[in-house]
A and B are shown apart, each in its own frame.
Chain A
Amino acid sequence: MKLSILVNEGPYQHQSADSAIQFTKAALAKGHEIFRVFFYHDGVNNGTRFAVPPQDDRNITEEWTKLAKENDLDLVICIAAAQRRGILDENEAKRQGKDGDNIAEGFRISGLGQLIEAGIQSDRLVIFGD
């Protein structure tokens, strides 16, 4: 089955972020295709490489980056939600006149249209949120 994932909550704050990554791993292991993972609301905070969780804890962002690399996943952060919350890639930092970017490897920033397209193109859109 072709699946897309929507992550609506931030890492560590909410179980949704963990559940989304666990579900994605399980779906891939069962041979399903992941068309896209889209991050919205505080979910965009999953994509900052500046988070430093304690060493004896999981690192959710690094897990996404690793999973994306191994499975060629498309991890998309909503630009409107990201702008509010200070998640920037190089282009956005330049465009907004900010002095640095913080997006993690394997993620990209794009528009909400990417979420709608995922809804159109996928057999199921699976949502992780509050």
Chain B
Amino acid sequence: MNPKNVGVIENPDGYGKVGNPICGDVMELFIRVKDDIIADIKFKTFGCGSAIATSSMITELAKGKTVDDALKITRKDVADELDGLPPQKMHCSNLAADALSEAIKDYKSKKKKK
């Protein structure tokens, strides 16, 4: 267990938070965007091994991609990249994909306002 991109970005260009502590999974995701490309990405996760692994993996997959390409990353991509997840843990990869799309949505809405 050696997750990548753990932490927060101060004043991020996009921020997403999904899950709730009762279910046992909360993920926060922060992105820094330059020319529509995800230049930096950090996360914080409360959850099981799979939740942490999928969080880490999605940050790796998204980094360097354009925001539109990053939006196309599916939960299946995350799971495949991890060489599969047990069936009862697939929702963890869902969480990671949701957090990323929330962060990108946040970025896009902020951009419109400018």
Do A and B assemble together? no
